[in-house]
């Protein structure tokens, strides 16, 4: 049963990847639709970031002093000025660990 579920879930996931690329004719998209698609990264990734920072493992809001909030803010500030991917992630993790282990 579990194996069947894994295969069906895999098929559906593959379809979400393949569907738009193979079935959609490029000309279906008009200029406006394409402009809206420009925002796709800006709508999907914050939908993963915000809950990952603001909520705990049980889906409740964390308190304002949570190390994750400061880790994320550090990453945003460092990333904004450095434009460097590694520095962004590393500074966020470093400040997060600093708050957890040193304080």
Q: Return d(Cα 66, Cα 56) in angstroms, integer.
A: 10
Q: By CB under 8 A, is residue 30 in contact with another protein?
A: no
Residue carrying the six token digits 């400061």: 70
From 12, 63, 64, 102, residue interacting with another protein (rule: CB under 8 A): 12
| Contact string 63-102 vs another protein (x = CB under 8 A) | -----x--xx--xx--xx--x-xx-xxx-xx--xx--x--
Minimum Å distance from CB 64 to another protein?
14
Bridge partners of residue 61, in order along the sequence: 55
Q: By CB under 8 A, is residue 103 in contact with another protein?
A: no
From 30, 32, 63, 103, residue interacting with another protein (rule: CB under 8 A): 32
Q: At what angle do helices 67-82 and 85-97 cross, to 10 degrees?
A: 150
Cα dihedral 80, 83, 86, 92, rounded to 10, equals 0
Number of shown-chain residues binding another protein (CB under 8 A): 66
Q: Return d(Cα 78, Cα 70) in angstroms, integer.
A: 12
| Contact string 39-58 vs another protein (x = CB under 8 A) | xxxxxxxxxxxxxxxxx---
């Amino acid at each position: 049963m579990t194996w069947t579920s894994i295969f069906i879930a895999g098929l559906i996931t593959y379809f979400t990847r393949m569907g738009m690329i193979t079935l959609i004719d490029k000309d279906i998209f008009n200029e406006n639709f394409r402009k809206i698609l420009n925002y796709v990264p800006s709508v999907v990734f914050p939908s993963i970031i915000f809950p990952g920072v603001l909520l705990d493992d049980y889906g409740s809001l964390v308190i304002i002093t949570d190390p994750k909030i400061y880790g994320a803010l550090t990453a945003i500030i460092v990333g904004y000025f450095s434009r460097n991917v590694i520095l962004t992630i590393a500074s966020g993790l470093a400040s997060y660990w600093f708050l957890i282990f040193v304080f």
